[in-house]
Amino acid sequence: MTRLRAAFLTPAAGVMFLLFFVPLLIVLAYSLLSRGAYGGVMQPWTLESYSRVFDSLYLEIAWRSVWIAAVSTFLCLALAFPMALFIARSTRHKLLLLNLVMLPFWTSFLIRTYAWMFLLRDTGLINTLLLATHILKQPLPLLFNTGAVILGLVYGYLPFMVLPLYATVEKLDPALLHAAADLGASPWIAFWRVIVPLSKPGIVAGCLLVFIPCLGAYLTPDLMGGGKTVMLGNLVQNQFTTARDWPFGAAVSLLLMVVVLIITRALWRHSEELI
């Protein structure tokens, strides 16, 4: 039995070890070395990269990443909850609606981001329409700002919030909502006192699935923010490319990982208490 179990585990464990754990060790080693003149790393070993992380410039980027990710997560939650409830309640079109939620995954995220840029830029669809109909004289600055980044993140990660929420809301016994109404709770009160507490596992899972990738997002702030809204992902990417400071890039990405781990631990522990 144990041998069989080991046989099933080995391939996945091997892949994880070779392609996740070993690269992680390499990144850790990089972060402790000095930068090479043309990129790459060289001796001697040093903690210098880690001390630079606490420079106010980088703390500002870290803080911006956290709040953008938090706002995006909150917006996803606010948008996804009604959607999840609606899908769970619908009787005939459940499968169709779920497929629509997952439909964006059929094309690449990059292409979908370009589509948003096509919509939002000064000569884009929305501004062209607004100008052509003389509603506006000047195009609205819809792209290349923090708002555009948040929009892109919310759009991109909304399905990751909808799906876990749907999974918990769908299991909710409709009799509990009847009971709440029966005991005098309006739909609004029943939502907060019954649906939300019982959906905690889905809320926690959804928030983790959205917050973590948002925190390390790189493509969306780069394209939709036009390089003006720098987040941690862009900082890391920058260090490995133009800045040619691999040790610092490695240190930032490891710190990002530590922050994510701490947040994940805290949220899971919180949700375990509730269940």
Partner 1 sequence: MNTVLELRSLTKEYPGHLAVNRVDLAIAEGEFFSLLGPSGCGKTSTLRLVAGFEEPTSGEIFLERQSLAGIPPYYRDVCTVFQNYALFPHLTVAQNVAFGLQRRKLSKSAISEKVQQVLALVQLTGKESRLPQQISGGERQRVALARSLVLQPKVLLLDEPLSALDPKLRKQMRHELKALQRRVGIAFLFVTHDQEEALSLSDRMAVMNAGRLEQVGTPRELYTRPASRFVAEFLGEVNWVNGAGVRPESVRVSRDRPGDGVRALQAVVEGSTFLGNCVHLSTRLTDGARCTAELPHSDFQTGDTVHVWWYSSDELRVTS
* Residues contacting residue 31 through CB under 8 Å, at least 6 positions apart: 49, 50, 247, 248, 250, 251, 254
Q: How near is the Cβ of 186 to partner 1 at its closest, in Å?
A: 5
Single residue of 66, 98, 140, 181 touching partner 1 by CB under 8 A: 181
Tell me the closest approach of the beta carbon of residue 226 to partner 1, in angstroms. Answer: 46
Which residue stretches of 216-275 are H helix?
219-224, 232-240, 246-274
Q: Does 273 bind partner 1 (CB under 8 A)?
A: no
Out of 2, 186, 258, 273, the residue judged to bind partner 1 by CB under 8 A:
186
Size of the site for partner 1 (CB under 8 A): 18
Is there binding between residue 198 and partner 1 (CB under 8 A)? yes
Q: CA of 219: how far to CAs of 73, 123, 148, 212, in Å?
A: 17, 22, 12, 14
Among the listed residues 1, 4, 132, 175, the single contact to partner 1 using CB under 8 A: 175
Cα–Cα dist 165/198, whole Å: 11
189: contact with partner 1 by CB under 8 A: yes
Query: Candidates 80-88, 170-178, 225-233, 263-271 — which segment interacts with partner 1 by CB under 8 A?
Result: 170-178
Looking at the Cβ atoms of 200 and 244, the one nearer to partner 1 is 200
Task: Confirm or reject binding of residue 195 to partner 1 (CB under 8 A).
Answer: no
Q: Around Cβ 76, how many Cβ atoms within 10 Å?
A: 27
Our finding on whether 270 is near partner 1 (CB under 8 A) is: no
CA–CA distance, 25 with 50 (Å, rounded to integer): 16
Minimum Å gap between C-beta 182 and partner 1 is 5
Nearest to 235, CA basis, from 226, 245, 76: 245
- Smaller CB separation from partner 1, 11 or 184: 184
Binding test (CB under 8 A) with partner 1, winner from 194, 204, 208, 214: 194
Instruction: Tokens for 95, please give them.
Output: 């499968």
Residue 173 in the binding site for partner 1 (CB under 8 A): yes
Question: Could you give the CA distance from residue 119 to residue 110 in angstroms, rounded to a whole number?
Answer: 14
113 with 220: CB under 8 angstroms? Answer: yes
Q: Answer yes or no whether residue 179 interacts with partner 1 by CB under 8 A.
A: yes
Q: Using the rule CB under 8 A, is 13 a contact of partner 1?
A: no
Q: Does 182 bind partner 1 (CB under 8 A)?
A: yes
Q: Is there binding between residue 185 and partner 1 (CB under 8 A)?
A: yes
- Burial grade of 84 (CB within 10 A; 0-12, 13-18, 19 or more): buried
Q: Which residues pair with 39 in a beta bridge?
A: 37
Name the residue nearer to partner 1 (CB basis): 142 or 194: 194
**Footprint of partner 1 on this chain (CB under 8 A)?**
173, 175-176, 178-186, 189, 193-194, 197-198, 274
